[in-house]
Each structure stands twice: as structure tokens, then as C-alpha cells.
Amino acid sequence: MTGPFSIRVRDIVHRPGEMREFEFEVPAPEKWGEGLVSVPAESPVDLDVRLESVHEGILVSGTADAEYSGVCGRCLTDIAEGVQVEFQELFAYPGDEATDFEVQDDHVDLETLVRDAIVLSLPFQPVCQPDCPGLDPATGERMTTSTGTEQREPLDPRWAALQGYTTDHDDEAPRPDVENTEES
Ligand SMILES: [Zn+2]
């Protein structure tokens, strides 16, 4: 019985120097992560994997892309973010000393490897934005929405700066004096 994260490696087993690369997508078999954010069950995990046959076994390395969701740790807004992790592990041939990862029945099963890498990378205190002001201690409302409905400027000063730049650009008048200089 092999899981969706298993890759058949029969063609490179005990053939040091052989290498194979795979790209595939697997749905997360269960919710990954127990904190404020987690990768939901069934959400896609994109894998980019390289398998190298070495004397001791199969060296597995690659990257995994997934999306986690949950709530901001300060204001409890729903958030969803992508996460990319790198992993590398030697899957040893069985019979040698016991290891966590082994080549079994000519397969390597990446599920534990990928899951652990992703779960470890999930933010322990996720925020909806780096400067999330959190909840108003007096009202319990989110600070970002309790500052007035007529507010049109974004709160984030970086956005405000961008907006100022755009306005300046639009208002920039043609420079007739330059054209006059060229013609004279
Ligand atoms: Zn927030």
C-alpha cells in the first residue's frame, strides 16, 4: 500500500549516480498544523522533487508549495498565504541501521517529510499585515475598521505614499518651456 506522496524508485535503486526529477500535485491528506493557521485537508500541495541514487539509499530533495489559512493573531481577520519550503532527506536502504526514512518496496514516501517541513514553517503568530494594529482594547472592534467609515486613505503608510506619487504624476503638467527651448 503506497500513499499519494509515494514515488516509485525501482529504476534507480542501487544505481548510484542515477537521478530522476518529478513535479506533481497532491491534496493534503489531512489538516496540517495545529496553530492559528494550517494547511486545510484536500488543499493542493505542489511538489518539485529530485531523487538521486547514492550508495546508502535515495537522496530526496525538493520544494513544496502550499497555502495555509486561518486567522490573524492580533485582529482575528481571516488570512490565507502561500508557503514554500525546501526539504532534503536520505532514504536509506533497509537492513542497515534503523533510520526515520527508508526505501520501502522500491518506493520513497515523502508525506512525513513534506508535512513536517510545511508545519514547521507555519507562522506561530500569524498577522494579516506586518503592522496590524489589532483590536481596540475598549470596544473589541478591529482598529482598522473602527477609525471611521468616511476614511478614504489606506491606513498603511506605504500605500499612502504610493497614492501620493500617483497623484503627483497625474497632475504633472506638460513643460512648454522645454519645447520652446528646442524650437528656438
Ligand atoms: Zn490583523
**What does the pLDDT profile of the chain (184 residues) look like in tens digits?**
578 999 999 999 999 999 999 999 999 999 999 999 999 999 999 999 999 999 999 999 999 999 999 999 999 999 999 999 999 999 999 885 778 899 999 999 999 999 999 999 999 999 999 999 998 888 888 876 544 444 444 555 555 555 544 444 444 445 555 445 454 4
Residue ranges per structural domain of the chain: 6-121
Using a cut of 0.75, tell me whether the model's pTM lies above it.
no
Give distance in angstroms: CA of 147 to centre of ligand 1. Answer: 15
Give distance in angstroms: CA of 122 to centre of ligand 1. Answer: 16
Give distance in angstroms: CA of 170 to centre of ligand 1. Answer: 33
pLDDT at 18: 97
Give distance in angstroms: CA of 130 to centre of ligand 1. Answer: 8
pLDDT at 120: 96
Give distance in angstroms: CA of 72 to centre of ligand 1. Answer: 5
Calpha distance 31→83 (Å, rounded): 15
Calpha distance 102→29 (Å, rounded): 21
Pair 87, 59: CB distance under 8 Å: no
Give distance in angstroms: CA of 120 to centre of ligand 1. Answer: 22
Give distance in angstroms: CA of 157 to centre of ligand 1. Answer: 16
Give distance in angstroms: CA of 143 to centre of ligand 1. Answer: 9
Task: Tell me how far apart the 2 most distant CA atoms of the chain are, in Å.
Answer: 90
Give distance in angstroms: CA of 145 to centre of ligand 1. Answer: 11
What's the distance, Cα to Cα, between the start and end of the chain in Å? 85
pLDDT at 170: 47
Give distance in angstroms: CA of 86 to centre of ligand 1. Answer: 28
CA 145 and chain centroid, separation: 28
Burial of 33 (C-beta count, 10 Å sphere; 0-12/13-18/19+): buried
Give how far Cα 68 sits from Cα of 25, 78, 118, Å.
16, 11, 9
DSSP letter for 86, please. Answer: E
pLDDT at 3: 86
Calpha distance 5→29 (Å, rounded): 10
